[in-house]
């Protein structure tokens, strides 16, 4: 491959953003600005689909590798993908255009700047998912925070500054440790190249500390219990499009990081710390599900449910089994689609009534039927009904966890019951029941763009629920390889 397709994927959104910077923005111009952004992100989406077509599923080797010297002898700009990364790239390029379409109603001021932030973030996210050098990864990983920080801090709600800082404080804390760990890896092995590190391996005596340093960063971003409290606040204050990006893509960086780096680089430590992850995951699943049950703010409820869902993801990854990791990746993709859709659903009613409180609503099913149907689809996907993508992931994860540890699987499965309770209760209180609040009568159903976005998200949610084979086939070989390498490492030590 001579054409640098990955670099193009990374750079294109930034070029679009640069373009926007020089576009004049005023009231009439908003449409142009939006079209430029949309066009850029769509080109990127099709490019990533093309990448998926070119992608060779039968090998676990990194493909489309680009390697350029950046700082002689120290850092190489190295990117490449395998089965694990490609789905996340497509998720990113798929969600971003939908986000851009959705800004119509929610972003009232400084649309141009907002879109620039979104596009730059897309660049960084894609960078995260295909970098093959620890330093490059770190840069993308941390840089991704900045646009998000701005999105919350500038376009957020009333407590936006508090939330933005909380978000930043939490995430920075872990990051610093990860940076230290990356530097130490360089001192220990003399390289930060991921492929080389995979081959070299890292001495067992260093692994525990390094693992913990990476963990502290990933745990915050996942987010795992007990460092999850920034997420509900961030979601509540963020504008709809921000919440969507945060939930759908940003949270996936950590899950990806766990698979790629924690498992890949530190197999022995991963094995040692599995009980820790299990405990935290199970606590996350149960505790946050209970908390979600009692929320009065729709966005907070969905945010807490995200924490529970990500609990399943971390649980699945550290089962270190085929079903578990495949389940985790499917769960992440599914959560990317479903949580994005749920936040958009909240956004739809928020734009109309300017309230996120559950008790504002009730009895709107006959007023906005299309919305109600789609909201139901995503509610069901969130509670993991068979036939939706949520089920496939959850079920595989639990199946793998059961093989490893009965107790963990039993407790985690309890979360599925509570999950049904809080999602259905939310839906009932918002959509069903008697119409008490008469202002709701004025609500209008989904407009064309909202309908389009939600249908775009509903189709893959259902399709992959019935036929997850394309996803599984893409990741299968890479994960198989990951696990066999892992097992070899364990045996060797």
Partner 1 sequence: MEISIIALPLIASIISGCFGKLIGDRSSEIVTSLLVTIAAILSAFVLYEVIFNDYQDNIVIATWINSGTLDVNWSMKIDSLSAIMLVVVTSVSSLVHIYSIGYMSHDPHKPRFMAYLSLFTFAMLMLVTSDNFIQLFFGWEGVGLCSYFLIGFWFKKETANAAAIKAFVVNRVGDFGFALGIFLIFYLFGTVNYSEVFELIPTVVDKNIVFLGIEVNAVDLICLLLFVGAMGKSAQILLHTWLPDAMEGPTPVSALIHAATMVTAGVFLVVRCSPIYEYSELALNIITIVGMSTAFFAATVALVQTDIKKIIAYSTCSQLGYMFFATGVGAYNVAMFHLFTHAFFKALLFLGSGSVIHAFKDEQNINNMGGVWKKLPYTYSLMIIGTLALTGFPFLSGFYSKDAIIEFAYLRGNTTGYYAAGIGIITAFLTSIYSWRLIFKTFHGEYNNKDIKIEETHESPLVMLIPLVLLSIGAIFAGYIFKELFVGYGGVNNFWKDSIFFLKPLSTEHPPIWFLVLTPILVILSIPIAYYLFVKNKNLPHQIANVNKPLYNFLLNKWYFDELYDLLIVNPSKKFGLFLWKFFDVKLIDGFGPDGISTLIKKFSLKANKFQSGYIYQYAFVMLIGFSALLTFLMIK
Q: Rounded distance, CA 93 to CA 38, Å?
A: 11
Residue 197 Cα to chain centre, angstroms: 26
Residue span binding partner 1 (CB under 8 A) among the ranges 27-35, 79-87, 139-147, 224-232: 224-232
Residue range at the interface with partner 1 (CB under 8 A); choices 46-54, 90-98, 122-130, 461-469: 461-469
Residues, the chain: 493
Regarding 486 and contact with partner 1 (CB under 8 A), the answer is no
229 binds partner 1 (CB under 8 A): yes
Residue 282 found at the interface with partner 1 (CB under 8 A): no
Q: Which of residues 145-184 bind partner 1 (CB under 8 A)?
A: 165-166, 169-170
Measured from the CB atom, the residue of 276 and 411 that comes closer to partner 1 is: 411
> In this complex, which beta carbon is closest to partner 1, that of residue 302 or of residue 431?
431
Q: Residue 139 burial (CB < 10 Å; 0-12/13-18/19+)?
A: middle
**Dihedral sign for Cα atoms in the order 300, 303, 307, 308:** positive
Dihedral angle of Cα 379, 381, 385, 386, to the nearest 10 degrees: 160
Beta bridge partners of residue 81, listed in sequence order: 63
Does position 443 interact with partner 1 (CB under 8 A)? The reply is no
Burial-class residue 366 by CB neighbours within 10 Å (0-12, 13-18, 19+): exposed
| Whole-number Å distance between alpha carbons of 67 and 49 | 23
Closest approach of Cβ 291 to partner 1, in Å? 4
The verdict on 378 binding partner 1 (CB under 8 A) reads no
Span interacting with partner 1, options 39-47, 100-108, 205-213, 397-405, rule CB under 8 A:
397-405
Q: Which is nearer to partner 1, 121 or 431 (CB)?
A: 431
Integer angstrom CA distances of residue 288 from 65, 150, 217, 312:
40, 27, 20, 12
Query: Is 85 in contact with 130 (CB distance < 8 Å)?
Result: yes
Count of positions on this chain that bind partner 1 (CB under 8 A):
59
Q: Which of residues 311-340 bind partner 1 (CB under 8 A)?
A: 321-323, 326-327
Residue ranges of alpha helices (H) inside 107-229 are: 111-130, 134-143, 145-155, 160-189, 194-200, 204-221
- Cα angle at 283 between 279 and 287, to 5 degrees? 175
Query: Between 369-382 and 389-404, two packed helices, what is the crossing angle to 10 degrees?
Result: 10
218 belongs to the binding site for partner 1 (CB under 8 A)? no
CB of 409 to partner 1, least distance (A): 6
In the complex, what is the shortest distance from the CB of residue 54 to partner 1, in angstroms, rounded to a whole number? 23
Q: Does 18 bind partner 1 (CB under 8 A)?
A: no
CB distance 189 to 74 below 8 Å: no
> Is the CB of 197 or the CB of 292 nearer to partner 1?
292
Site string for partner 1, 54-93 (x = CB under 8 A): ----------------------------------------
For partner 1, give the closer residue by CB, 243 or 323.
Answer: 323
80: helix, strand or coil:
strand
Nearer to partner 1, 44 or 321 (CB): 321
469 lies in the site for partner 1, by CB under 8 A: yes
Radius of gyration of the chain from its Cα atoms, rounded to whole angstroms: 22
Minimum CB separation of residue 436 from partner 1 in Å reads: 11
Q: Using the rule CB under 8 A, is 290 a contact of partner 1? A: yes
Contact residues: partner 1, CB under 8 A: 165-166, 169-170, 226-227, 229-230, 287, 290-295, 321-323, 326-327, 363, 365, 380, 385-387, 391-392, 395-396, 398-399, 402-403, 406-407, 409-410, 413-414, 416-418, 420-421, 424-425, 428, 431-435, 466-469, 472, 476
């Amino acid at each position: 491959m001579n054409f640098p397709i990955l670099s193009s994927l990374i750079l294109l959104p930034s070029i679009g953003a640069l373009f926007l910077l020089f576009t004049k923005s005023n009231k009439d111009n908003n449409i142009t600005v939006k079209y430029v952004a949309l066009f850029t992100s769509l080109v990127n989406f099709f490019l990533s689909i093309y990448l998926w077509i070119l992608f060779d599923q039968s090998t676990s080797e990194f493909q489309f590798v680009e390697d350029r010297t950046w700082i002689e002898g120290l850092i190489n700009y190295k990117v490449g993908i395998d089965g694990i990364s490609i789905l996340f790239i497509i998720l990113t390029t798929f969600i971003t255009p939908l986000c851009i379409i959705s800004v119509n109603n929610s972003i009232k001021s400084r649309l141009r700047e907002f879109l620039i932030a979104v596009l730059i973030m897309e660049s960084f996210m894609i960078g995260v998912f295909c970098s093959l050098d620890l330093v490059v990864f770190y840069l993308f990983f941390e840089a991704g925070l900045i646009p998000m920080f701005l999105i919350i801090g500038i376009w957020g709600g009333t407590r936006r500054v508090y939330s933005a800082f909380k978000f930043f404080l939490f995430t920075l804390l872990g990051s610093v440790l990860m940076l230290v760990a990356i530097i130490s890896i360089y001192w220990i092995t003399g390289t930060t190249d991921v492929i080389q590190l995979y081959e070299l391996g890292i001495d067992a005596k260093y692994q525990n500390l390094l693992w913990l340093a990476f963990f502290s960063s990933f745990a915050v971003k996942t987010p795992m219990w007990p460092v999850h409290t920034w997420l509900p606040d961030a979601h509540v204050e963020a504008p709809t499009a921000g919440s969507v990006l945060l939930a759908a893509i940003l949270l996936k960086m950590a899950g990806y990081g766990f698979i790629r780096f924690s498992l890949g680089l530190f197999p022995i430590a991963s094995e040692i710390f599995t009980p820790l992850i299990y405990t935290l995951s199970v606590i996350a699943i149960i505790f946050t599900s209970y908390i979600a049950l009692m929320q009065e703010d729709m966005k907070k409820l969905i945010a807490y449910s995200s924490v529970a869902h990500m609990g399943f993801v971390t649980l699945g990854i550290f089962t270190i089994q085929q079903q578990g990791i495949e389940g985790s990746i499917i769960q992440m993709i599914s959560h990317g689609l479903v949580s994005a859709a749920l936040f958009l659903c909240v956004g739809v009613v928020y734009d109309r009534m300017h309230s996120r409180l559950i008790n504002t609503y009730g009895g709107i099913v006959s007023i906005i039927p299309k919305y109600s149907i789609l909201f139901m689809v995503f509610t069901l996907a969130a509670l993991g009904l068979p036939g939706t993508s949520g089920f496939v992931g959850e079920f595989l994860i639990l199946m793998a966890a059961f093989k490893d540890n009965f107790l963990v699987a039993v407790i985690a499965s309890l979360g599925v019951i509570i999950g049904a309770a809080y999602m259905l209760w939310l839906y009932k209180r918002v959509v069903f029941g008697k119409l008490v609040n008469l202002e709701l009568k004025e609500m209008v159903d989904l407009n064309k763009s909202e309908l389009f976005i939600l249908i775009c998200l509903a189709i893959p949610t259902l399709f992959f629920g019935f036929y997850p084979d394309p996803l599984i086939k893409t990741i299968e070989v890479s994960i198989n390889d990951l696990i066999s390498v892992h097992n070899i490492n364990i045996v060797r030590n």
